Amino acid sequence: MQQTKHMIGIFSVAAVVTLVLGVGTTIVTATEPCDDFGECKVLIEINAEDGDIGFHFLMDGDDLKSAKIVDPNGKKIFEDKAKGPLKKQKLTETFAESAEPLCWPDPEADPDEEIVTLEEFLERWTAGTYVFKGKGDKGAKSTGETELTYELPAAPAEVEFDGSVITWAAGDDLGNCASASELDALVAGGVLPKHPEDVEVAAWEIVLEPDVEDGDPTGSLKFTVRVAGGIAPKEVTVPADYLASLPDNTPVKIEVGAIGVDDNATFSEEDGFCVNEEDEGCEE
């Protein structure tokens, strides 16, 4: 999933507005201390449009030589050890994400590509307490705990852009990962604690990204903003100065992410928009 590679800004659900002009990257900031760690977090991220799903985590400690994560079943799922000059300088923040397999049989995908349905993904990643452990100088140990939940916010719907204002609506499904009826069955079967349309959205992340060929420097000029989940109407005005910085007839795609209280996130994407349209407009 191409995230701004966001988020996302996915690890911060405080009521805040963030603006990023320039190279877009996921803004990753857990908001609460995690015992001996300054920050730690695990979450589920879904791309509703592409139909893929992944596991993300963040840890931030002081002067670590090694770190690991243990899942609720006591199984080590990640370990990182500094070596050479990095061992002397030590580790602090580490952010990583799993591969993001398809959660549906995309007819355009490679037939050999792995498919992991939402239910299979949840069986793989147990909900509960994930323990972060680190070691520093002279055997100093750090420990922290955070929770993974199955409260997955619904994919934003009706994403539109009129050349100045981005609008969207709350959704009721997970796009290609799971329809509303499929989610009803997962809730009825006790797999999900609640339907995604009933999961509180703590923040929305909106990204406008020039949809250009690889190597075109315009592609790095992304606009990213994070707004509170209760915003009404659901719209964001893109700064005129930013739009003016883009070349004429720049094709763009819009991505809107719903960030839950527990930091799980679901993103929707729409393309086919054109900025600074002149003459015949953006090339098809």
Q: Each residue of 111-130: pLDDT tens digit?
A: 888 899 999 999 999 999 99
Q: For residue range 68-116, what is the model confidence (pLDDT) as tens digits?
A: 999 999 999 999 998 999 888 988 888 999 999 999 998 888 888 889 9
Domains of the chain, earliest start first:
18-275 (2.60.40.10)
Q: Which helix (H) or strand (E) element contains residue 120?
A: helix 118-124
At residue 228, the 3 state secondary structure works out as strand
Q: Structure pTM? A: 0.86
